[in-house]
Amino acid sequence: MRSMTEGCLPLLPSRQDHSLTVAARWLSYNPPMPLSREDITKRAAQELQDGYIVNLGIGMPTLVANHIPEGMDVWLQSENGLLGIGPFPTEENIDADLINAGKQTITARTGAASFASSQSFAMIRGGHIDMCILGAMQISQEGDIANWMIPGKMIKGMGGAMDLVAGVKKVVVTMEHCNRKGEPKILKECTLPLTGKACIDMIITDLCVLEMDHQAKRYKLIELAPGVTVEEVIEKTEAELIISDEPSVVTV
Amino acid sequence: MANKIFPDTVSAMAGLDDEGILYDGMMCMVGGFGLCGIPEQLIIALRDTGVKNLTCVSNNAGVDDWGLGLLLQTKQIKKMISSYVGENDEFARQYLNNELEVEFNPQGTLAERVRAGGAGIPAFYTATGVGTIVADGKETRTFRVPNGGGEKEFVMETGLFGDLALVKAAKADEYGNLVYNMTARNFNPDMATAAKFVIAEVDEIVPAGSLHPDEIHTPGNYIDRVVMTKSEKRIEQRTVSVS
């Protein structure tokens, strides 16, 4: 499989690659400015479509709800048993019986439905959720994800993450491109215990947007953060990437 | 028909040792997600029975001083079957010292294992956890995906059935018919089907006939005893809109 990929797809751009010169020109009048956490969530929100049923993970993915485009009807599912999350409540209408998967108090929007956990995960596993957005510790070049366990450290559990990556139609990861030590998180193979195999369709980081090419089983670099070069992405990514067309610049 | 309504949690829990329901080493299902929809007063009553070496099936393990955290404090729990246990320091301490056994299940697998157990289904196949340590040592099999998309590998998981289930509902009538409130429903209706004996803690007992048959979430035949309590309903993350 690997030799096929290497044989037919240009994995690394040459020095003369057009995308590099474009990026270099960009750099000359735009200093490197990787995406902030808010920019990453804004970019993730661009993946939403009218009528989508979406599950947002805890942390950065939850913030995507703040950037749903005006006039777009998106339904947020919470795996503890609600379809149709509304805004946070006011102090007066807090209900201890109404929380999201992060255990935060929420409200239910008009048309919302509540249901049991078994029904909620039937919805997730059965392919009735259009998209989910979650964080990751590591992603492999074939789309495996590790995000629940570091051996030797306190294990908190996988919660609903394994079900979400196994059952949702489009799985998007938002994360920092490198870990706190500056090491790549997008690897040839994950070294941490997996959450799911070959399941991540898109990765949005502070440096770029990667989309899985399901035929080639490799991520394709489709967008660069303003001022970030193809070279920088390659340097900070261990996985083989497909870099064929000129990546566009992320706009948020 | 035997009276299902009990005046307090102590009497609702009484006499179960004679029936082989309450014993050291028993398996107890406990409803709730975080602190939402937990049978909080029944957990206290279970603690006060002094039963030991419990295997608890519950999505979470409460917090240090509430929910199942109370039974961890008294070291009455031998094993937890859960999907996420992040909010409990005593849990972490016992776990790291090998005083507590933990079996992590993906949340949907846990819910389905309980549902299956209650429905008389010994095992089922799911795509969740395939290729991860969750599938280690379990039978896997390739099936055509029911809703299209070709063939895929699935892992076999087994149904769960407990000795006792403690559930929390908003309303009950004298027949034990239950209605849950919003996301306090979570694991409760499935757990109510998956144990030899089931006790429901409720906010309100309503007159017979006042629940429309269509609105009942758990039919009364699953429920052995009902007790009305004044629940504290603690909130883990009080989040409000900035207006």
Shortest alpha-carbon distance between residue A34 and chain B (Å): 29
Within 8 A of A124 by CB-CB distance, chain B residues are: 108
Residue A158: closest CA among B85, B94, B154, B91: B85
Provide the residue range defining the domain that includes A58.
Answer: 35-249
Q: Which residues pair with A178 in a beta bridge?
A: A184
User: Can you tell me the distance from the alpha carbon of B8 to that of B80, in angstroms, rounded to the nearest whole number?
Assistant: 27
What is the pLDDT, as a whole number, of residue B242? 78
Task: List phi, psi (to 5°) of B111.
Answer: -60, -40
Output A27 or B114, whichever has higher pLDDT: B114
For residue A42, CA distances in Å to A48, A211, B216 come to: 10, 17, 42
Q: Would the CB atoms of A195 and B238 count as touching at under 8 Å?
A: no
What is the pLDDT, as a whole number, of residue A23? 52
pLDDT tens readout for residues B189-202: 999 999 999 999 99
Provide the percentage of residues in chain B whose pLDDT is more than 90.
93
Residue B166, pLDDT above cutoff 70: yes
Number of A–B residue contacts, CB under 8 Å: 179
Give, as one character, the DSSP assignment of residue B16: T
Assembly ipTM: 0.96
What is the pLDDT, as a whole number, of residue A32? 57
Residue B39: closest CA among B13, B75, B72, B76: B13
User: Does a structural domain hold residue A21?
Assistant: no
User: Can you tell me the distance from the alpha carbon of B185 to that of B169, in angstroms, rounded to the nearest whole number?
Assistant: 7
Concatenate the DSSP letters of all residues of B134-167 into one string: GGTTS-EEEEE-TTSSSEEEEEEEE---EEEEEE
pLDDT tens readout for residues B119-159: 999 999 999 999 999 999 999 999 999 888 799 999 999 99
What is the pLDDT, as a whole number, of residue B87? 81
Task: List phi, psi (to 5°) of A241.
Answer: -120, 155
Shortest alpha-carbon distance between residue A54 and chain B (Å): 17
A142 tagged catalytic: no
Shortest alpha-carbon distance between residue B234 and chain A (Å): 7
User: Does a structural domain hold residue A3?
Assistant: no
CATH number, position A185: 3.40.1080.10
Residue type, A51: G
Element at A162 (helix H, strand E): helix A161-167
Residue type, A14: S
What is the pLDDT, as a whole number, of residue B142? 98
User: Does a structural domain hold residue A69?
Assistant: yes
Which of B33, B84, B132 lies closest to A157 in CB terms? B84
Residue where the block lists tokens 């970030």: A228
Q: Would the CB atoms of B129 and A96 count as touching at under 8 Å?
A: no
Within 8 A of B112 by CB-CB distance, chain A residues are: 118, 121-122
Task: List phi, psi (to 5°) of B145.
Answer: -65, 125
User: Does a structural domain hold residue A23?
Assistant: no
What is the pLDDT, as a whole number, of residue B120? 98
Which of A82, A158, A167 lies closest to B127 in CB terms? A167
Q: Which residues pair with B186 in a beta bridge?
A: none
User: Can you tell me the distance from the alpha carbon of A209 to that of A173, in angstroms, rounded to the nearest whole number?
Assistant: 10
| Closest residue in chain B to residue A99, using alpha carbons only | B183
| Closest residue in chain B to residue A144, using alpha carbons only | B131
Within 8 A of A82 by CB-CB distance, chain B residues are: 182-183
A155 touches chain B (CB under 8 A): yes
User: Does a structural domain hold residue A103?
Assistant: yes
User: Does a structural domain hold residue A6?
Assistant: no
- 3-state class of B94 per DSSP? helix
In this prediction, residues B89-104 reach a mean pLDDT of: 93
Residue B68, pLDDT above cutoff 80: yes
A92 touches chain B (CB under 8 A): no
Residue B53: closest CA among B79, B72, B74, B88: B79
* Domain count of the fold of chain A: 1
| Segments of chain A scoring below 70 in pLDDT | 1-33
User: Does a structural domain hold residue A154?
Assistant: yes
Q: Would the CB atoms of A105 and B235 count as touching at under 8 Å?
A: yes
CB A100, CB A138: distance < 8 Å: no
Shortest alpha-carbon distance between residue B80 and chain A (Å): 12
What is the pLDDT, as a whole number, of residue A14? 40
Q: Would the CB atoms of A162 and B106 count as touching at under 8 Å?
A: yes
What is the pLDDT, as a whole number, of residue B148? 81
Element at B225 (helix H, strand E): strand B225-228
Shortest alpha-carbon distance between residue A238 and chain B (Å): 22
In this prediction, residues B58-72 reach a mean pLDDT of: 96
What is the pLDDT, as a whole number, of residue A21? 54
CB B152, CB B229: distance < 8 Å: no
User: Can you tell me the distance from the alpha carbon of A226 to that of A21, in angstroms, rounded to the nearest whole number?
Assistant: 14
User: Does a structural domain hold residue A206?
Assistant: yes
User: Can you tell me the distance from the alpha carbon of B208 to that of B172, in angstroms, rounded to the nearest whole number?
Assistant: 9
Q: What is the pTM of this model?
A: 0.92
Q: Would the CB atoms of B131 and A115 count as touching at under 8 Å?
A: no
CB B73, CB B64: distance < 8 Å: yes
Q: Would the CB atoms of A117 and B233 count as touching at under 8 Å?
A: no
Dihedral angle sign, alpha carbons of residues B154, B104, B235, B230: positive
Mean pLDDT of chain B: 96
pLDDT tens readout for residues A177-233: 999 999 999 999 999 999 999 999 999 999 999 999 999 999 999 999 999 999 999
What is the pLDDT, as a whole number, of residue A33? 66
What is the pLDDT, as a whole number, of residue A12? 39
Catalytic member of A47, A79, A142, A223: A79
Which structure tokens are listed for B139?
């039978």
Which of A90, A95, A97 lies closest to B243 in CB terms? A90
